[in-house]
Homo-oligomer: A and B are copies of this chain.
């Protein structure tokens, strides 16, 4: 074996002599002080950690991909699929609620995932949601090619009490209701009533819920309460235990032949509901969601 230095030094690598390379190793530690500029962004303990994801410029994205108005069922189901993937991939999410182009995820107040760092909660949720959106797109829009990678905005909010958390979810569901009722009437006026968007907007200015229902019923024969719950209530994702039965061939001791047996196993999986979360009923029926051992 020829000597490294005999062979290479100076003549071969004047620009990057070996010396420099171990300098780099020293350099690395010299530069490492920059890590001290990172701040601790620990979420206060014993608080519910809420991460909300919103589509960035989704108005434009919806136009580009010809989403149907006022609701595009494919788009809502795709959002649900993404939320399921987020719940499956990340830890400690006990509930998610979605409507329109937004989704809220609730991490349990006892969670210590990534030491409760806010940036971890936010970026893991939002990146998983975003990559899922493109990944699952073709399952929901088989005939529509996706034209560009969509962006999402995320934020973390802490809620110290169960009541604060429930009020947050109620706020989002009340928002869903108000927007959906408005949009249903608005697009009926435009699509079926022949009004221009500006005319529809004028017509609806200052109307109460009851008046909007009246317009829907008397002019378009739509009973708003028969509209799909997916549109009116949004989607709630929770965990449920399912019993999975599978067949397996095993050989028991003291027996000669293998035997087929059924093996039953409890597994947690997400389930999607379209129900009211403002009243007490939901929380009474699903009391384990927020309990300490969920």
Interface residues of A (CB under 8 A from B): 1-2, 4, 7-8, 12-13, 15-16, 18, 21-22, 24-25, 27-28, 31-40, 42, 44-47, 53, 56, 85, 89-90, 109, 118-120, 122-124, 126-136, 146, 148-161, 164, 167-168, 170-171, 174-175, 177-178, 181, 208-210, 213-214, 217-218, 223, 225, 278
Contacts and interface: CB of A to CB of B under 8 A. Distances in A.
Interface centre among A13, A127, A133, A217 (most CB of B within 10 A): A127
B159 A34 contact: yes
A9 B198 CA distance: 32
A158 B122 contact: no
A174 B33 CA distance: 13
A156 B119 contact: yes
A36 B24 CA distance: 39
A171 to B, nearest CB: 4
Contact of A127 (B1, B126, B157, B278): B126
Contact of A134 (B21, B135, B209): B135
Contact of A33 (B28, B167, B223): B167
B149 A132 contact: yes
Contact of A28 (B12, B119, B146, B175): B175
Given A31-B171, A31-B174, A44-B158, 9 more contacts: A18-B209, A34-B164, A34-B171, A37-B158, A38-B157, A90-B151, A124-B152, A126-B127, A132-B149
Given A18-B209, A37-B164, A44-B44, A154 B174 contact: no
Contact of A213 (B21, B38, B146, B154): B21
B56 A124 contact: yes
Contacts of A124: 56, 151-153
A153 B155 CA distance: 14
B40 A39 contact: yes
A-B pairs with the 4 shortest C-beta distances?
Answer: A123-B154, A160-B160, A31-B171, A21-B209
